Amino acid sequence: MGRRASGKTTSFDIAYKAGVSQPTVSRALRGDRSVSPTTRARIEKIARELNYTVDKNASSLRSQRANTIALLFFEDPTPDSSMINPFFLAMLGSITRAAGARGLDLLISFQRMQDDWHTRYQDSHRADGLILLGYGDYQAYTHRLEQLVRQGTHFVHWGSVKDGNNGVTIGSDNVGAGRLAGEHLLRCGRRRIAFLGRADDRYPEFADRYRGLRAAMEAAGIVPDPALQVDALTGEEEGGTAINRLLADGTMFDAVFAASDLIAIGALRALAQAGVRVPQDVAVMGFDDIPVAALASPPLTTIMQNVSGAGDALLEALLAQIEGRPPVSRELPARLVLRASTGH
């Protein structure tokens, strides 16, 4: 078989040259992991050589798919009016690249908690599946996740990976990351470590980070003081309020582990206003490694989540559902980023 009379390259031409079946070519070009990396790379190379482009309209008609993924951001408290946590803005690039590599379009939307987002995309068939991003109050939207499960919507959520979650979840190993933070602060000689973050079932990611910190302290023979856990959500203002509460109560602490970088930056500002030196008097570290963390004064030691791997993990879990394969929830490892706020 050679080039068709029209002169336009088809997937059959690629299959002939690659020595594989046409369905294998189709699967490879849409990023299906059932095709081996070696075969996929050979097919992609031949497709480029033949200037082949996928006819998305024809592909969609055959598969009854929109070839579109909806990425839904949920509102979070932020210093500006965006109401989108900077960490999830950083994740956007990873998800966009992962979708592009699979030949998928990405529909991006901001969802307010009072909106009827849980039915809109399923009923209108605007997207084949949903990626849900946002910290927020887990209990406030868990009933909507339950509804997505009941109606058979394909979706994946970034969050705390636990047994009994509604749907598939991809997230960081928050317990392991909290332990990393605690071990680092202990190596710095700190013993009275304050945790700034809501640590209950409404905010399970924060709770897991606190659990990891406690595990590190207990392994070192230190009994965590409950008075050193202060509720705070994601914003800078809440980080400052939490520090001022500790100072007003006279609670002794020589380190702060904040559940997010924004909370940590608010803590840095409040400590500076109170004349407390960082890191000489109090070491401070955050979580997320958003861009502003490196620009803080002093630059912020933090935990970096695996943003680059998040896009692939989220898309793979979602496509598994769409294609009828068993999806798997996963935890991605995080790593420590050392800067001046803990004295390295």
Give the residue with greater pLDDT, 274 vs 38. 274
What is residue 68's three-state secondary structure? strand
Tell the residue number behind the tokens 């206003």, with chain if given: 273
Q: How far apart are CA 52 and CA 62, in angstroms?
A: 18
What six digits make up the tokens of 213? 């910190």
**Average pLDDT over every residue of 254-266:** 97
Q: For the domain 174-305+337-342, what is the CATH superfamily, name and number?
A: Response regulator (3.40.50.2300)
CATH of domain 11-54: 1.10.260.40
**Average pLDDT over every residue of 44-62:** 70
Q: How far apart are CA 329 and CA 331, in angstroms?
A: 7
User: Which of the four pLDDT bands, split at 50, 70 and 90, describes residue 82?
Assistant: low
Domain boundaries defined on the chain: 11-54, 68-171+306-331, 174-305+337-342
**Average pLDDT over every residue of 308-337:** 93
pLDDT at position 60 is 47
DSSP letter, residue 301: B
pLDDT in tens, 39-50: 988 998 998 888
* Burial class, 49, CB count within 10 angstroms (exposed 0-12 / middle 13-18 / buried 19+): exposed
Cβ partners under 8 Å of residue 181, min gap 6? 209, 212, 213, 216, 257, 285, 287, 303, 336
Q: Rounded to two decimals, what is the model's pTM?
A: 0.78
> 68-171+306-331 and 174-305+337-342: same fold?
yes
pLDDT at position 286 is 98
Does the pLDDT at position 269 exceed 60? yes
Give the residue with greater pLDDT, 20 vs 26. 20
pLDDT at position 125 is 60
Architecture of the domain whose range is 68-171+306-331? 3-Layer(aba) Sandwich (3.40)
pLDDT at position 53 is 72
Give the residue with greater pLDDT, 6 vs 51. 51
Give the residue with greater pLDDT, 194 vs 69. 194
Does the pLDDT at position 135 exceed 60? no
Asked whether the beta carbons of 132 and 122 are under 8 A apart, the reply is no
40-45 LR contacts (CB < 8 Å, sep 24+): 42/18, 43/14, 43/18
Whole-angstrom CA distances from 254 to 9, 197, 251, 269 are 67, 17, 10, 16
pLDDT at position 162 is 86
Residues 97-124, buried b or exposed e (16+ Cβ, 10 A)? ebbeebebebbeeebeeeeebbebbbee
Q: How far apart are CA 230 and CA 246, in angstroms?
A: 8
Tell the residue number behind the tokens 């509460």, with chain if given: 245
Q: Which helix (H) or strand (E) holds 85?
A: none
Q: How far apart are CA 125 and CA 285, in angstroms?
A: 44
pLDDT in tens, 148-165: 787 788 999 998 898 878
pLDDT at position 311 is 93
Q: How far apart are CA 110 and CA 325, in angstroms?
A: 29
What six digits make up the tokens of 121? 């995309």
Distance of CA 248 to the CA centre of its chain: 35
Whole-angstrom CA distances from 139 to 76, 83, 112, 230 are 15, 19, 15, 20
